[in-house]
Amino acid sequence: MVKEAVGIGDTIEKAKEDACKKLGVESYEAEFEVLELPVKKTLGLFGGSPAKVRAYIETSPADAAVAYLRSIFSCMGVSNVEFKVQEEENGALISIQGEDIGFIIGHRGETLDSLQYLAGLVSNHVDNTYYRITLDIGNYREKRMETLTILGKKMAAKALRIGRNFSLEPMNPYERRIIHTAVQDIEGAKSWSEGEDLARHVVIGPVEGERAPRGRRGPQGGGNANRRHPYEKLPANRGGNNQGGRAPRNFNEGSAAAPATPIRARVQDEPLTNKSEHKGPLYGKIEVHK
């Protein structure tokens, strides 16, 4: 992309200075084209015309990104910052160097990622084409890549050993690609992305899917779904006293269910002399009066 401006002045030098001022660059950064030479007035009163000079600079997407970052750092009070641009295919890697600029990275690179995103938007407006900007400070990207690669392989091995899926924390697309690449090196493991927007994250699991936990068999597996665990606590008042528990069982199993309305009973105690001779109820005769 070419940026240009036309400067006017009594002399060519003054016209160049005017054009550079309009472009916002120094004279050594621009190229010049003289459009009109100055013409002096006749007798110092009539005619005459100023000089016209065209100043232009060729701005690349990376240069536009660097200029934007300089303005941002200036507003943040960061000075003495150097930018090293390394051109890549359809993009550029911009390394930032300076003193006490580690805070620009932010928590897990969040601030650096935000600046990278904004600089990418500026660079894409230069030629209206996709141009990828990558920012780096103190080899942070390389160190982060190593950390994520180790994490991806470690979680893939764990997923195969246990037979379960594991979800990682939300990451940006660049870091998710690193995880996917690392998991591909582990045979039998796979990875995919879930979630939307800022909550999108990587899930790692076995290719064959999750295994059922040991010792748990469902109704279709031949086991009893309602089988009680050996250490499961028994229900309260089971087979014992009926204080606050379920309704008591009728002594005569063959009789009809007890009525819902309460009844009054009178018990006549009879001494039990011999168990073998006793044929009546265990606790005596019961007469029911409704």
Residue 122, domain CATH: 3.30.300.20
Number of domains in the chain: 3
Q: Is 21 inside a domain boundary?
A: yes
Q: Is 117 helix (H, G, I), strand (E, B) or coil?
A: helix
Are 66 and 103 part of one and the same domain?
yes
Are 22 and 8 part of one and the same domain?
yes
Are 131 and 155 part of one and the same domain?
no
CATH code of the domain covering residue 154: 3.30.1370.50
Range of the domain at 156: 141-206
Number of neighbouring beta carbons within 10 Å of residue 274: 6
Q: Mark which of 91, 121, 138 sits at the end of a domain.
A: 138
Are 50 and 29 part of one and the same domain?
yes
Cα angle: 103, vertex 116, 133; to 5 degrees: 135
Cα angle: 274, vertex 277, 282; to 5 degrees: 75
Are 14 and 47 part of one and the same domain?
yes
Q: Is 258 inside a domain boundary?
A: no
Q: Is 223 inside a domain boundary?
A: no
Residue closest to 15 by CA, chosen among 57, 64, 51, 61: 51
Q: Mark which of 157, 179, 206 sits at the end of a domain.
A: 206
pLDDT in tens, the chain (290 residues): 777 889 999 899 999 999 888 888 788 878 889 998 888 877 666 677 899 999 988 888 888 899 899 889 888 888 788 899 988 888 999 999 888 888 889 888 889 999 999 999 999 988 788 889 999 998 888 899 999 999 999 999 999 999 999 999 998 888 999 999 999 999 999 999 999 988 999 999 999 888 877 655 544 444 444 444 333 334 444 444 444 444 444 444 444 444 444 444 444 444 444 444 444 554 455 555 54
Residue closest to 30 by CA, chosen among 61, 5, 60, 55: 55
Are 45 and 92 part of one and the same domain?
no
Are 154 and 124 part of one and the same domain?
no
Q: Is 214 inside a domain boundary?
A: no
Are 121 and 153 part of one and the same domain?
no
Q: Is 225 inside a domain boundary?
A: no
Q: Is 171 inside a domain boundary?
A: yes
Cα 146 to Cα 223: distance, rounded to the nearest angstrom: 47
Is the distance from CB of 189 to CB of 205 less than 8 angstroms? yes
Are 106 and 148 part of one and the same domain?
no
Is 183 exposed, middle or buried, given 0-12, 13-18 or 19+ CB atoms closer than 10 A?
buried
Q: Is 223 helix (H, G, I), strand (E, B) or coil?
A: coil
Residue type at 239?
A: G
Tokens read off for 133? 């900007």
Cα 105 to Cα 117: distance, rounded to the nearest angstrom: 13
Q: Mark which of 115, 138, 161 sits at the end of a domain.
A: 138
End-to-end CA distance of the chain: give it in Å, rounded.
Answer: 106
Is 202 exposed, middle or buried, given 0-12, 13-18 or 19+ CB atoms closer than 10 A?
buried
b/e for 263-272, b at 16 or more Cβ within 10 A? eeeeeeeeee
Q: Is 175 inside a domain boundary?
A: yes
Cα angle: 65, vertex 67, 71; to 5 degrees: 115
Are 72 and 118 part of one and the same domain?
yes
Question: Any idea which residue has 């309704």 for tokens?
Answer: 247
Are 158 and 119 part of one and the same domain?
no
Are 128 and 145 part of one and the same domain?
no
Per residue, the 3-state secondary structure of 62-100, as one string, reads HHHHHHHHHHHHHHCCCCCCEEEEEEECCEEEEEEECCC
H or E element in which residue 271 lies: none
Q: Is 264 inside a domain boundary?
A: no
Cα 6 to Cα 12: distance, rounded to the nearest angstrom: 12
